[in-house]
Structure formats: C-alpha cells, structure tokens
C-alpha cells in the first residue's frame, strides 16, 4: 500500500525536484482533464514514446500515479542502482519480475491492490517504448483489470516527448490528451469478456489522437510482463 513517505516524495518531486523541470523542458499542454474522475480509483493507459512519458502523465493528472516498474531498475549494482531502488520504492512503484510465472502474476495483483485502495494505476500497454514512433499492439492487462474491478479505463495520447534532432528543445511542446473513458460494455455483453478486442479499440483510440501510425503487432517480446500473461 502507498505510504506517507511515498506521498511526501511524490509531492516533493512534483513541486520541487521534477515538476518545474518538466514545465521548462516541454512547455506541456493538457487537454481533457474533465474526463478524469474527481475522486476514487481509475486506470490511465498511454502510448509510450520516451522515458519522460510517465512523468508528464503524472504531472498532467495532478494525482500520484503508480506504475509497474521492471525489476531491472531494482537490481542494478553500484551507486546508481542504489539510488534507483530508493527512488522507485519511495514513489510507490511496483516491481515486475520479468522471469514470469507467479512473480509476474503477483505484480498484476499488486496493481489491482492499488485500484482497491482507491488510487490511480498508470500503464503503457505497449509494454515498451516505441522503437520508431509508431503505436504498437497493446497487452491486455489494463483492460482485464478494468473489467475485473469496474473502474474507469482512460486512454491518454501523449505527443512531443520523442527526441527529434531537427527540433531544438526550446521549440518542442509536450501535449497530453486525456480521452473519455473506454466503454467496455460492448466487450462484456453476455458475460463474454473480450479483453483482446477491447484492448485493440483502446490502442486505436490513442492512435487517432496521437497521430501515430498503428501497427497490429507487438513492439517486442517482454517476457514476464503481467500484461503478457494474456496477450
């Protein structure tokens, strides 16, 4: 469960350590905040162009967002590895063991626990950053958790975070478009939970607003991702 220490670290990062830098670097603009629930749990699913996507997503939502963090970030040796472990644990990130099996399933259960606690779970359904700027097929984990818990699943389209050598940083602008919650009712009729079709619909909605070309295949295999358990 998120701790007081995690909440304090989030506020420190947002208002002092990271937030001001994000505003300076990307001059972010946010559309669609009216689609966000005023309180309670929900899921946000965004495209993934760069490392900064998760930071801008959290900044745009104005709430602490919890992500699944791959175990590599927790296992690196040396000073950098120690710093990463402290940082990710402090902000409440959930470790994902990429070896799969019960460990990966437990990570997805932990994400569900965040929802049950009334928090916000953020995820990039592609499972990895886009290698070429296109939007790739999404894993079904976000949809499955939304169907199981009944919380809103909100698509988000992010643009402007992918490095572009032709455009100097001071001319770039990050835009975060928060879309209306995905309507899961057509995919749950007659008790049949079609997570694959719902995920495809989710990704196509994101592509339509991000302007990315949609590719109906996975960007790469991510063995052990909770979303890959039912890809």
Average pLDDT over residues 196-219: 96
* Alpha-carbon gap, residue 201 to 219, rounded angstroms: 17
What local confidence, expressed as pLDDT, does residue 100 receive? 52
CA distances from 218 to 16, 18, 131, 215 (A): 37, 31, 11, 8
Show me where the domains of the chain are located. 4-230
pLDDT attached to residue 203: 98
pLDDT tens column, 15-51: 898 899 999 999 999 999 999 998 999 999 999 999 9
223 pLDDT tier (thresholds 50, 70, 90): very low
Q: Which CATH superfamily is domain 4-230 in?
A: Glycerol-3-phosphate (1)-acyltransferase (3.40.1130.10)
Asked if residue 80 has pLDDT above 60, the reply is yes
Predicted confidence band at 220 (pLDDT cuts at 50, 70, 90)?
A: confident
Phi, psi (5° rounding) for residue 120?
-110, 125
Residues 6+ apart with CB under 8 A from 132: none
């Amino acid at each position: 469960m998120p701790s007081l220490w995690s909440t304090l670290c989030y506020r420190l990062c947002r208002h002092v350590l990271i937030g001001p830098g994000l505003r300076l670097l990307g001059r972010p603009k946010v559309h669609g905040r009216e689609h966000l629930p005023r309180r309670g749990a929900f899921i946000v699913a965004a495209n993934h162009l760069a490392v900064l996507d998760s930071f801008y997503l959290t900044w745009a939502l104005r709430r602490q967002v919890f992500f699944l963090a791959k175990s590599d970030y927790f296992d690196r040796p040396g000073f950098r590895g120690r710093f990463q472990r402290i940082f990710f644990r402090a902000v409440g990130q959930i470790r994902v063991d990429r070896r799969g099996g019960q460990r990966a399933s437990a990570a997805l259960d932990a994400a569900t626990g965040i929802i049950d606690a009334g928090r916000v779970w953020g995820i990039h359904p592609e499972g990895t950053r886009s290698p070429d700027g296109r939007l790739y097929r999404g894993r079904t984990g976000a949809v499955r958790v939304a169907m199981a818990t009944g919380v809103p699943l909100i698509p988000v389209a992010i643009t402007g975070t992918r490095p572009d050598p032709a455009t100097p940083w001071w001319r770039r602008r990050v835009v975060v478009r928060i879309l209306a919650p995905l309507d899961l009712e057509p995919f749950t009729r007659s008790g049949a939970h079609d997570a694959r079709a719902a995920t495809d619909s989710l990704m196509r909605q994101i592509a339509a607003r991000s302007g990315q070309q949609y590719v109906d295949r996975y960007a790469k295999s991510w063995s052990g991702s909770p979303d890959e358990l039912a890809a």
